Amino acid sequence: MNELLLAGTLLLSYFAGAVPFSQLVSRRNYGVDLRFVGTGTVSPLNLSHVAGARPAVLAGALEGAKGTLGPLLVGADRPGYAALAGALAVTGHLWSPFLRGAGGRGLATATGALLVVVWPAAAVMCTGLVAGVLVRRLVQAMSVALFALVPVVLLVDTVVGTLATMLIVAPIGAKTAILIHRRGRAA
């Protein structure tokens, strides 16, 4: 893949990640803007509060699939760029230009990217998803899974895999830090 094609693929990854599937499902089928209900995030979890499990599962699958697109197009022979493509998809989801900078938490998109780039990390995220659904504390369980990613991947994968994992989940940490900072100033 030449440099121009790679740059185009990375740009495509960002804009694919920015497509707000949960919002599209919510607006089209229920007439609800997810930014103004429930948790205020454009996410499958918030969609489940508005519309139930079935639409949320569909949206979650689409949110995860968009995370796989860039890394699959870049290919396994360039793991650093594949991880960057995944990180750009997550960044697009977190701060979507189609939603004027709003977005979701990025967990499904990150899981999709990790599935292609570092599958053990995706397994940890999926474990967090299942645990969260079982105990009805999805966000908390997925947050614990995020913290467990780096040590687990370091144990079962290479240093490159660990760095790729950190690159993909770094935007989620950045958004979380920004939200915490804003809440602290508002209090």
Domain chopping of the chain, boundaries:
3-186
Residues 6+ apart with CB under 8 A from 64: 108, 109, 111, 112, 115
pTM of the predicted structure, to 2 decimals = 0.86
Backbone angles phi, psi at 116, to 5 degrees: -85, -45
Structure tokens at 173: 């940490």
Residue 119 banded pLDDT, cuts 50, 70, 90: confident
Please give the C-alpha separations between residue 154 and each of 33, 127, 164, in angstroms, as whole numbers.
40, 17, 11
- pLDDT tens digits, one per residue of 92-115: 999 999 999 999 989 899 999 999
